[in-house]
């Protein structure tokens, strides 16, 4: 899917708690996941030279060029989150220059604070090394109040 915050890349995080948000089943916010078994991969990822963004880059299929040029075909893509591509104030032009190797989100995207950095790679730059399976338990604060 190209509708992710950084486009159609393969996503990674440097904090297991971010990966945990995507592990296991999805449900309503009030549904508890205590006792649920979930899995995530611990992977080696070659980020190379990442492009740091403070803007959502939905629909992107490859990183921008090292000159900061984005593919102009993005201007016609429909965006569900964030500003349309025309309003992002990014350089849109056909460019055959070398490209960044990956994209890294800053801690503020589209003027909204984020708790984590997210990383996306668009080629064969990752190797899942371990599959970690775990059972979610209640936090100390929720156990103390029960």
The model carries a pTM of 0.84
pLDDT of res. 92: 95
Percent residues over pLDDT 90 in the chain: 70
Q: Which stretches within the chain are classed as H helix?
A: 16-20, 140-144
Considering only CA atoms, which of 64, 44, 45 is closest in space to residue 53? 64
What confidence tens digit (pLDDT) does each residue in 67-94 have? 999 999 999 988 888 889 999 999 999 9
Q: How far apart are CA 110 and CA 97, in angstroms?
A: 27
pLDDT of res. 24: 75
Residue pair 18/104 in contact (Cβ under 8 Å)? The answer is no
Percent residues over pLDDT 70 in the chain: 95
Res 62 pLDDT > 90: yes
Beta strands 91-92 and 69-70 are parallel
What confidence tens digit (pLDDT) does each residue in 21-47 have? 888 777 777 778 888 899 999 999 999
């Amino acid at each position: 899917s190209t509708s992710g915050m950084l486009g159609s890349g393969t996503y990674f995080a440097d904090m297991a708690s971010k990966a945990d948000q995507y592990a296991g089943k999805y449900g309503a916010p009030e549904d508890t996941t205590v006792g649920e078994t979930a899995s995530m991969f611990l992977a080696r990822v070659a980020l190379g030279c990442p492009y740091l963004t403070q803007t959502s880059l939905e629909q992107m299929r490859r990183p921008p060029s090292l000159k900061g040029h984005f593919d102009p075909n993005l201007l016609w893509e429909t965006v569900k989150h964030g500003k349309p591509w025309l309003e992002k104030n990014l350089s849109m032009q056909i460019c055959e220059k070398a490209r960044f190797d990956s994209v890294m989100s800053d801690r503020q995207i589209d003027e909204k604070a984020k708790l984590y950095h997210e990383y996306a790679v668009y080629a064969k730059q990752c190797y899942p090394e371990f599959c970690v399976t775990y059972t979610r338990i209640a936090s100390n604060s929720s156990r103390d109040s029960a």
